[in-house]
């Protein structure tokens, strides 16, 4: 029977994930391959210690090629008002992600 990971290990894993994500964000302009490696390591740590990635982090990298999604450089972002979705396209592997959103109503 498998045991759960201790809470202190999960806490350290979350800290390492945050550090690797920040490093990936810094390195995307100078060294994109290093940035991809940081994202890959971050995902491995999350899987190994069964730590769920926050939504803010999860939506900022491509799940198929581990590229940090920076608008204009590695990602194209569009808003589809008919389907009420944000469409993010990875420019490295052409993977498309669609995220729902609720448009804000203007009260006049």
Supply the CATH number for residue 83's domain: 1.20.5.420
The pLDDT of residue 102 is 86
Domain membership of residue 61 (yes or no) is yes
Q: What's the chain's average pLDDT?
A: 94
| Number of domains present in the structure of the chain | 1
Domain membership of residue 35 (yes or no) is yes
Domain membership of residue 1 (yes or no) is no
The pLDDT of residue 4 is 84
Question: Which structural domain range is residue 94 located in?
Answer: 7-100
Q: Residue 3 — very low, low, confident or very high, per pLDDT cuts 50/70/90? A: confident
Coil vs helix vs strand at 37 = helix
Contacts of 6 (CB under 8 A, 6+ apart): none
**33-72: pLDDT as tens digits:** 999 999 999 999 999 999 999 999 999 999 999 999 999 9
Q: Is the pLDDT confidence value at 2 over 80? A: no
Domain membership of residue 73 (yes or no) is yes
The whole-number average pLDDT for the span 69-85 is 94
Coil vs helix vs strand at 64 = coil
Rounded to whole angstroms, how far apart are CA atoms 52 and 44?
A: 11
Q: What is the residue whose two structure tokens read 């491509």?
A: 62
């Amino acid at each position: 029977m498998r045991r759960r990971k201790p809470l202190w290990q999960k806490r350290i894993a979350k800290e390492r994930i945050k550090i690797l994500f920040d490093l990936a964000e810094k390195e995307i302009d100078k060294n994109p391959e290093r940035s991809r490696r940081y994202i890959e390591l971050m995902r491995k740590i999350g899987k190994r210690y069964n730590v769920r990635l926050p939504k803010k982090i999860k939506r900022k990298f491509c799940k198929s090629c581990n590229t940090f999604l920076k608008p204009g450089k590695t990602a194209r972002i569009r808003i589809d008002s008919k389907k009420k979705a944000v469409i993010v396209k990875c420019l490295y592997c052409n993977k498309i992600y669609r995220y729902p959103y609720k448009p804000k109503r203007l009260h006049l």
